[in-house]
Amino acid sequence: MSGKMIEFRANGRMTGGYLAMPPQPGPGLIVIQEWWGLVDHIKDLADRFAAEGFVALAPDLFHGDMTKSPDQAGKLLMALNIGEAGKDIRGAARHLLAMPEVQPKKVGTIGFCMGGQLALFAAAEFPEEISAAIDFYGIHPKVSISPEKLEVPVQAHFAKRDNSTPEAQARAFVNELKAGGKTVDEYFYDADHAFFNDTRPEVYNPEAAGLAWTRSLAFLREYLG
């Protein structure tokens, strides 16, 4: 990995995150973790986005906690203080915007599973800092998105065989956003939940992940470049 752990200010306190730098200045991108924590997979994604020209910062929303156990991950997810997580994401956005390497001065959010829902939440709550958002099969029982507040362009990637975020539920949410006049670029893949996570061979789908990667880069370059 080419990035490094840093500390940045969030709501008057310091918190940690993994920062990956591109070869030359570029827009900012906040990479938001799954319920496992800030694990190597998320750091690797930050590195991949940096290699594509984005200044990528993955905030550690669990503040050092991480796990490989689904039961423990579920406990960490439910224990997450959404308001504080939002402040961490806003702090990450402000840190990126203050960096001279971030050019133009735009920041997007991209998140996976739990992080997908938080990517939309942050975009809705902090439109002054967030210019675009990408949701990969987002779910969090404590996070509700107010469609009327979501003013930035959104891209969404969902799986048709997803028991955590069922297709019907995902389509209903997308339709609600579109009915409100929002810009939504949505895709549904013949895959399982977490199909983008290449560290989980039981669900990883290379074809769907490749398509989603290409689409995500095009979207981010359109709205942040």
Would you say 80 and 117 are in contact if contact means Cβ atoms under 8 Å apart?
no
47 is catalytic: no
Say which of 88, 135, 162, 192 is annotated catalytic. Answer: 162
113 is catalytic: yes
Sign of CA dihedral 206, 207, 211, 214: positive
**Residue 191 to residue 41: CA distance in whole angstroms:** 19
Say which of 95, 140, 157, 193 is annotated catalytic. Answer: 193
Backbone angles phi, psi at 55, to 5 degrees: -80, 105
41 is catalytic: no
In one-letter notation, the amino acid at residue 88 is D
Q: Look up residue 161 and give its DSSP letter.
A: E
Say which of 47, 113, 135, 157 is annotated catalytic. Answer: 113
**Residue 9 to residue 40: CA distance in whole angstroms:** 23
The DSSP bridge pattern shows strands 154-161 and 13-20 to be unpaired
Cα(first)–Cα(last) distance of the chain, in Å?
25
Q: Look up residue 110 and give its DSSP letter.
A: E
Show which residues are catalytic.
113, 162, 193
